[in-house]
Amino acid sequence: MPKVYKQNFRDAWLQDEEFKQWIRKDCTDPTRAYCAYCKSSIGAKLFDIRHHAASKKHVAVMGACTQKNKLHFVPKSTKTQEQEAALCLHIAKHSAIATSDHLSKLCVEQFSACKAAANIKLGRTKCTYIIKNVLAMHFISDLRSDIGDSGFSLLLDESTDISVEKILGVAICYFSKSKWDVVSTFLGLEQIDAGDAISIADAVKSLLLSNNLKISNLIGIGTDNANVMTGSKKSVYTELRKSVPSLKLLKCVCHSVQLAVTKSCTKVLPDNLEFLVHETYSWFSKSCSRQLNYKKVYQCINDNKNPLKIPRVCDTRWLSIESAVSRIVDQWTELKLHFELAATTEKCHKAHILNGLYKDDTNYLYLVFLKPILKEMQSLNKNFQARNGNPTQLLSDVIVAINSLKSKIIPPNHEINILEDDLENAAVPNMYLGYAFEQKIKEAQFLSQELEIRKICMEFVKELIIQLRERLPDNIEIMQLVNLFSVQNMLKVSKSKEIFKVLEYFECKNIENIQLQIEKINFIKWEFVEDTSKFWTEVIKYKDAGNNNPFSDLAEFALKILSLPWSNAEVERIFSQMNIVKSKLRNAMSLKTLNAIMYIRYGLERHGKCCHNYVLPNEYLSQITSSEKYSDVCEADELDNILSIL
């Protein structure tokens, strides 16, 4: 038999004009090569490589990827360009790029009487390039011109996409002079090789540079409480401060409240409560028969009404424990009966455990105690997540929530600084722990356990206050003073002198001018006296008899405060959109295409329009038939599209 020999891959082939466009090393076997276009492994012999290059599949893929030289673009009517642009907007906003082949054919066949529609030629490859090189470029340019030279803040967070790549999501908050409002929107997604402070800070700087934004205009950053983001020695914040010494850091209160509640529950409350809440959801989540059995029990007790589902407790959904606890408390009797029946009919150990937990009224009492506290924390979180809330009021709401917790363990006649003083000696046992709790504990008559139950409840409140204090922004006492710039406080005849602490903290250089403007602002009859954002928008637009704005310095400073990153909710929404766009079915989508689709979606949202009523400027319409906007380099997602056709 002839001797079979093996040959290792030659690095010289990577530079050879005949092969370099498509040949790669096979990472799993040094004796084989890899075709980047056909996604196939080849023997590392010159004969095998040339044989593969001449194969029908390889020739077809190479031809599709180099079709630039074969495409001849002819001028189309403006109407056709508008229709293709509208179709691409629709696909980017609502659909997948792969549908463009059939959508364009549908338009041609159904509207053949229209000459412009008959000229539509929009395959998935062309649609991809229009989205990336025309539509996305328009919305990026539009965002950049809208920001102008205004100060802006960034919201930063890390995540992992469906292809397990580390992604840095960035949202931007600024005052738009075209919308006359504070806008929070998508700025970009950046892939990061490592999650360290320097890599993230470099990614932020790179994103600002690519969007033509000056880092010197950066006012503040909002992040979660991760040490890599907020650490005092080496973090993203300290790295960015090297470029912007006046940079302000705001830790996300939504993350803080979630972590504080989770840590307090785990540390103080009995472990079986967490088991009860989690496993009640798990019991019904994967069994339709159990859901139907419980529905029958619930309908028998509640006059044929349907039960609300028990939601899942999830760390990535802020305070999802609140809705789960509320549902369980509201349906306690029905759930108790259901698990009592399940323990006798199902041969399942978990049914017996849950039956025992629901029979123990102390568990019910703890959940009744938790329900109003969790509801208050959830309400606080929703205030920070709201897009139309009053930013100047938010941190004051945090202090109000902490003082509300304080009232459950400390008498009102005890003067104490809730943000600094020790709570151990100030707390008093047997305080009033809420109407529902007090009623239930009397009805159940827990004479032997009452003191122990009250002690655990008091310890929970104390621990929650401590956890919240530890996670509040370091500059909370100054930052809560921004409430002095709310419309209600600003229009008072007598202004608080503490307003100057805020001006000094933000290193304001024209404090004297602002002081004069503060003193006379209440002499004008303003229209918007209920909404702080609308009020300051009215002030910035105000003109006196000489067509000058006598409150320009004050209004610009107030709008700077409103542009601070008060919550990370916007960047969390970005990740939700990212997971919708780059899903399991579209896991090979490149970051450039993903970013392009996100720019289009958020650009339409920023203008309050959709694909059917947005008008693309003529300068971008003319680029739709320009061959310069088409590249002969196929990225991973376009290659997969081509291969699926072949």
pLDDT one-digit tens code per residue, 561-581: 888 887 778 888 888 889 888
Give the lowest-confidence range in 249-258, 362-371, 607-616: 249-258
Query: What's the gap between Cα 300 and its chain centre?
Result: 42
Q: Is the pLDDT of residue 638 over 70?
A: no
The encoded tokens of residue 31 equal 């004796």
Residues 217 and 272 in one domain: no
Share of the chain above pLDDT 90, in %: 25
Name 628's Cβ contacts closer than 8 Å, sequence gap at least 6.
Answer: none
Residues 442 and 311 in one domain: yes
Share of the chain above pLDDT 70, in %: 90
Pick the closest to residue 480 from 536, 549, 553, 561 (CA basis): 561
Residues 261 and 393 in one domain: yes
Q: What's the number of domains the chain is made of? A: 5
Q: Mark which of 456, 471, 486 sits at the end of a domain.
A: 471
Residues 204 and 309 in one domain: no
Q: Which residue has the higher pLDDT, 172 or 565?
A: 172
369 domain-assigned: yes
Top-ranked range on mean pLDDT: pick from 101-110, 446-455, 562-571: 562-571
Determine the number of helices (DSSP H) and then strands (DSSP E) in the chain. Answer: 30, 8
pLDDT of residue 396: 78
Helix axes 591-607, 78-94, angle to 10 degrees: 100
Residue numbers of the domain that contains 114: 78-140+601-645
Please spell the DSSP secondary structure of 254-305, one letter per residue: HHHHHHHHHHHHHHHS-HHHHHHHHHHHHHHHT-HHHHHHHHHHHHHHTTTP
Residues 464 and 363 in one domain: yes
Name 516's Cβ contacts closer than 8 Å, sequence gap at least 6.
Answer: none
pLDDT tens digits, 227-276: 888 887 889 999 999 999 988 888 887 878 888 888 888 899 888 888 99
Q: Is the pLDDT of residue 448 over 80?
A: no
pLDDT tens digits, 184-225: 999 999 988 887 889 999 999 999 999 999 999 999 898 887
pLDDT tens digits, 132-162: 999 999 999 999 999 988 889 999 988 887 7
454 domain-assigned: yes
Q: Is the pLDDT of residue 419 over 80?
A: no
SS3 sequence of 124-151: HHHHHHHHHHHHHHHHHHHHHHHHCCCC
Q: Is the pLDDT of residue 597 over 90?
A: yes
Residues 465 and 484 in one domain: no
pLDDT of residue 65: 65
513 domain-assigned: yes
3 domain-assigned: no
71 domain-assigned: no
Q: Cα separation of 478 and 135, whole Å?
A: 43
What is the layout of strands, in order, in the sheet containing 23-25? 23-25, 32-35, 40-43
Q: Mark which of 453, 471, 489 sits at the end of a domain.
A: 471
Q: Phi and psi at residue 17, in whole multiples of 5°? A: -60, -30
Amino acid code (one letter) for 298: Y
| Mean pLDDT for all residues in the chain | 83
Give the lowest-confidence range in 72-76, 356-360, 479-483, 520-524: 72-76
Helix axes 253-268, 450-471, angle to 10 degrees: 150
Q: Cα separation of 426 and 416, whole Å?
A: 8
Q: Which residue has the higher pLDDT, 336 or 165?
A: 336
- Judge whether 270 and 235 are in contact, CB under 8 Å: no
72 domain-assigned: no
Q: Which residue has the higher pLDDT, 319 or 292?
A: 292
The encoded tokens of residue 496 equal 């608080």
Q: Is the pLDDT of residue 73 over 50?
A: no
Residues 446 and 330 in one domain: yes
Residues 458 and 410 in one domain: yes
Residues β-bridged to residue 218: 152
Pick the closest to residue 640 from 70, 41, 38 (CA basis): 38
Residues 321 and 464 in one domain: yes
Largest CA-CA distance found in the chain, in angstroms, rounded = 105
301 domain-assigned: yes
Residues 454 and 316 in one domain: yes
Q: What is the CATH number of the domain that holds 204?
A: 3.30.420.40
2 domain-assigned: no
State the average pLDDT over residues 343-347: 87
Residues 218 and 111 in one domain: no
Residues 334 and 418 in one domain: yes
Report residue 493's pLDDT band, with 50, 70 and 90 as the boundaries. confident
pLDDT of residue 180: 87
- Across 160-176, b (16+ Cβ under 10 Å) vs e yields ebbeeebbbbbbbbbbb
